Structure 1
Amino acid sequence: MITSDDTAQPWLSIVGIGEDGLDGLSARATALLDSAELIVGGDRHLALVAALNKSTLPWRVPFAASLPEVLAQRGRRVVVLCSGDPFWHGAGSVLADHLAPREWTAVPAPSTFAWAAARLGWRLEDAVTLGLHARPIATLRPHLRPEARLIVLVRDGAAVGEIAGYLAANGFGASELTVLEALGGPRERVRRTTASIFAFADVTAPVALGIAAVAEPGAVIMPCVSGLPDELFQHDGQLTKREIRAVTLSTLAPRGHELLWDIGAGAGSIGIEWLLAARSNRAIGVETHPGRLATARTNAEALGVPQFDLRLGAAPEALAGLPTPDAVFIGGGAGRPGLMDAVWQALPAGGRLVVNAVTLETEALLIDWHHRHGGELLRLGVERASPVGGLTGWRAAMPVVQWSVRK
């Protein structure tokens, strides 16, 4: 049965608007604006509809800071203006997450990505699309590969120059850049250059950047699979080495939309590669050493996953209050009193636990837990060819015992 609540008219309308302002709106979007008692938007959005002479509320940066003011308007007819498609790097999902489905409606306009692809002649479904308004430029790093095509939304003209410098400094100076300003409006301008010679001093917002990636000789390309080269990480020796890391990530089996606890994060390599496996993944790293924690943060930023949530503290105490994990990795300190019990209690049914050990004491602990809970117990050894006098022989690294189990 349909209740009166289900048939009620939404009080909030999320309307996408382009650089052509009122002229580019659909009849439905125009009608919603005409009937609005309050229009919410950024200063640029509100300027585009100034001719309507409506009550307005400029939103704050970040937009989430304006949520209480917007939600306090329940009972009034409110329109929130967003650039282009509100649900593609826009405020639409932020609003929808705080409202019942019957409370809101949305009328999107073409996204900046769609406009950019139309000017570039690129297949949008094949391009990497990123919003870097409030994210570090190094977020680009995992996507920089030969022949990759990226469309990036940036905060202003200065950011375009910073991206060009970043590309040049990382072996992608020959990449073709297309600077796309005010797409779809009377101020639209499209200019092309390369990263190494970028010299535009008059780039104005709103701006998008098309990057046709060209790797120069010697450029370091991040692989698409786990097991990044050790040289990509800063560390003081506390690093899960490449071969062991590849096995560990395979065993952790990241699947997307999952949370990892990385206990004894060290240089952060496991959590970083967990996040690289899927954009929707989350990771919380716990590390007792302040210097290593700082290094892990540096690595996360440099490798394009600044969202890695790194915390200073000792487990199990530092685990109190953390959100429930889908998987847990213990790379150090498994023998701390109460740690294994605390992790096992926190892990939900079906959750995965992977523990690596290099000492006999921790190995004995893992053997005991394997007897009690099953799972898989492995002993991993890596040997590398190295000089022995004038000849060559095998030099073994310390073996790693790995216990993994699904609860």
Structure 2
Amino acid sequence: MTPARPEPSHAVTVVGIGADGWAGLPDISRTELRQADVLLGGPRQLDLLPVECRGERITWPSPLRPAVAGLLADHAGRRIAVLASGDPMFYGIGRALAEETTGLRVLPHPSSVSYATARLGWPLEDVEVVTLVGRPAARLAAALHDGRRLLVLSADATTPGEVAALLRDRGYGPSRMRVLEQLGGDRERTTGECTADDWPVTHPPGDPLNVVAVDCRRSADGLRLGAVPGLPDEAYEHDGQLTKRHVRAATLGVLAPAPGELLWDIGGGSGSIAVEWMRTHPSCRAVTVERDPVRADRIARNAERLGVPGLRVVTGSAPDALTGLPFPDAVFVGGGLTAPGLLDACWEALPGGGRLVANTVTLESEALLADARRRFGGELVRLAVAHAVPVGGFTGWRQAMPVTQWAAQKTLNPRPGDDR
């Protein structure tokens, strides 16, 4: 019989622990914690360990992420065990540790999401998870769709109230809510179900360790927002500077956002292109550049209301305002095309495979796009939209101003020094 291969030695082990504490840990996790020279974790997690865990106990500082590398370096050569809530690789410290050390060993515990779906009888694959731990509550707005089920990872005891307020404000007051506290522990509790409209009256803040379950229901007068680009124009606060719905949908189709990509939206106006780029996937990022400070503030409000508060708004004129920005994967120019050197600066900033799309309604800018096509290639398209309107007692077509669009993709030759 071949002898079992010995387990490799791991300098850092991350141990998932639940609200049931030491009693809920398997033997392998207990052994690791007993043998550790250093025990890293939050105060609540460290307090769950018995005295037989003799390692030096160190509480995570705040902010946590910048301190990870230094703490690991300070204790190099010692056996380190890191405590994490539930599954360390699900919105947990495991990600940061994996980025800082090789050979990380992870001993997971059931996550709060697994416990919650088990208690609710909700199939996990049909549930969307949104974390508000260290993130603004406005992120939740992008996940609101009638009939969907959400689990919200709470930052503290005030999060359920914030969730209820956001649901009411976004037209989802009839949504059914429950709060599940201390999941897996002996103090586990689930609140009775009620609507977001009723929440402030019946539910004062409870336990800070909680998950909010939301069964989304849109109110009769709530604005319906779909999952693809081309949101209704009335979803935006604007002063007329807005890429209209049908042109916006066509523009996002050519920009072709993919997970993790970054967009430069130049001449942001109301921010609609950047907002809908970010709504396509939670990992999509965008920077919008707008020279008018009033419009820049309006863009930030639109981004928050529509669920992408992470949109970065730069107040300034391009191309000067582009200096120092992270390199984009795609660029949209909706305004300022006649600024000297703008198109060249945008093209130069793109990596191989990057896309540049520019829209205009003026003859002067159209000439610039024709020249850009001659130099860089791509496609020129004219987009024309007409709306049916009353004409006396009949109906006729009212033509909107046609939009000339240039779209080009850079060849896959990388920029000098581009290591992406």
Shorter chain as denominator, the TM-score bin is: over 0.9
- Asked whether the equivalents of residues 158 and 205 of structure 2 are also in contact (C-alpha less than 8 Å), the reply is no
Residue 391 of structure 1, CA deviation: 4.5
Residue by residue, what CA displacement relative to the aligned partner does 1:214-236 show, whole Å, maximum 9, x if unpaired?
22211222101110011111112
- Asked whether the equivalents of residues 35 and 55 of structure 2 are also in contact (C-alpha less than 8 Å), the reply is no
Residue 157 of structure 1, CA deviation: 2.1
- Answering whether residue 31 of structure 2 is matched by residue 42 of structure 1, we say no
Equivalent residue number for residue 381 of structure 1: 384
Residue 50 of structure 1, CA deviation: 4.8
The partner residue of 1:310 within 297, 313, 317 is 313
Equivalent residue number for residue 127 of structure 1: 127
- Answering whether residue 262 of structure 2 is matched by residue 263 of structure 1, we say no
The partner residue of 2:359 within 343, 356, 360 is 356
| SS of equivalent to 1:48 | coil
TM-score normalised by length of structure 1 = 0.94
> CA 1:266/1:74 → structure 2, altered by over 3 Å: closer, same or farther?
farther
> CA–CA distance in 2 between the matches of 1:374 and 1:330?
17
Deviates more, 1:53-62 or 1:245-254: 53-62
> CA 1:12/1:264 → structure 2, altered by over 3 Å: closer, same or farther?
same
- Asked whether the equivalents of residues 154 and 160 of structure 2 are also in contact (C-alpha less than 8 Å), the reply is yes
Residue 299 of structure 1, CA deviation: 0.8
| SS of equivalent to 2:234 | helix
Residue 372 of structure 1, CA deviation: 2.2
Residue by residue, what CA displacement relative to the aligned partner does 1:127-147 show, whole Å, maximum 9, x if unpaired?
001111222222122222222
> CA–CA distance in 1 between the matches of 2:296 and 2:285?
17
Question: Which 5+ residue runs of structure 2 have no aligned equivalent?
Answer: 1-6, 411-420
- Asked whether the equivalents of residues 22 and 50 of structure 2 are also in contact (C-alpha less than 8 Å), the reply is no
> CA–CA distance in 1 between the matches of 2:8 and 2:151?
39
- Answering whether residue 241 of structure 2 is matched by residue 241 of structure 1, we say no
Residue 249 of structure 1, CA deviation: 0.3
Deviates more, 1:347-356 or 1:387-396: 387-396
| SS of equivalent to 1:157 | coil
Equivalent residue number for residue 97 of structure 1: 99
- Asked whether the equivalents of residues 176 and 192 of structure 1 are also in contact (C-alpha less than 8 Å), the reply is no
Equivalent residue number for residue 68 of structure 2: 67
> CA–CA distance in 1 between the matches of 2:33 and 2:269?
53
Equivalent residue number for residue 288 of structure 2: 285
> CA–CA distance in 2 between the matches of 1:89 and 1:62?
16
Equivalent residue number for residue 414 of structure 2: none
Residue type of the partner of 2:25?
L
> CA–CA distance in 2 between the matches of 1:230 and 1:34?
60
> CA–CA distance in 2 between the matches of 1:192 and 1:122?
16
| SS of equivalent to 1:248 | helix
> CA–CA distance in 1 between the matches of 2:172 and 2:403?
37
| SS of equivalent to 2:23 | helix
| SS of equivalent to 1:192 | coil
Equivalent residue number for residue 336 of structure 1: 339
Residue by residue, what CA displacement relative to the aligned partner does 1:300-325 show, whole Å, maximum 9, x if unpaired?
11111111122122221222232222
The number of aligned residues is 399
> CA–CA distance in 2 between the matches of 1:89 and 1:172?
26
Residue type of the partner of 2:17?
I
- Superposed, which structure 2 residues align to 1:22-41 within 5 Å? 22-41=22-41
- Superposed, which structure 2 residues align to 1:63-212 within 5 Å? 63-72=64-73, 73-99=75-101, 101-102=102-103, 104-194=104-194, 195-198=196-199, 199-212=202-215
Residue 390 of structure 1, CA deviation: 5.1
Equivalent residue number for residue 3 of structure 1: none
Question: Which 5+ residue runs of structure 1 have no aligned equivalent?
Answer: 1-6
> CA–CA distance in 2 between the matches of 1:287 and 1:165?
30
Residue 59 of structure 1, CA deviation: 1.3
Residue 177 of structure 1, CA deviation: 1.3
Residue type of the partner of 1:335?
T
- Asked whether the equivalents of residues 136 and 301 of structure 1 are also in contact (C-alpha less than 8 Å), the reply is no
| SS of equivalent to 1:270 | helix
Residue 339 of structure 1, CA deviation: 0.9
> CA–CA distance in 2 between the matches of 1:241 and 1:50?
62
| SS of equivalent to 1:404 | strand
TM-score normalised by length of structure 2 = 0.91
- Answering whether residue 219 of structure 2 is matched by residue 227 of structure 1, we say no
Residue type of the partner of 1:80?
V
| SS of equivalent to 1:204 | coil
The partner residue of 2:325 within 318, 322, 328 is 322
Residue by residue, what CA displacement relative to the aligned partner does 1:313-344 show, whole Å, maximum 9, x if unpaired?
22212222322221111111122111111111
Equivalent residue number for residue 401 of structure 1: 404
Equivalent residue number for residue 4 of structure 1: none
> CA–CA distance in 1 between the matches of 2:313 and 2:66?
24
Deviates more, 1:193-202 or 1:248-257: 193-202
Residue type of the partner of 1:362?
S
Residue type of the partner of 2:92?
G
> CA–CA distance in 2 between the matches of 1:166 and 1:262?
27
> CA–CA distance in 1 between the matches of 2:28 and 2:325?
45
- Asked whether the equivalents of residues 84 and 112 of structure 1 are also in contact (C-alpha less than 8 Å), the reply is yes
> CA–CA distance in 2 between the matches of 1:340 and 1:172?
42
- Asked whether the equivalents of residues 330 and 354 of structure 2 are also in contact (C-alpha less than 8 Å), the reply is yes
> CA 1:357/1:110 → structure 2, altered by over 3 Å: closer, same or farther?
same
Residue type of the partner of 1:292?
R
- Answering whether residue 9 of structure 2 is matched by residue 9 of structure 1, we say yes
> CA 1:200/1:257 → structure 2, altered by over 3 Å: closer, same or farther?
same
Residue type of the partner of 2:335?
G
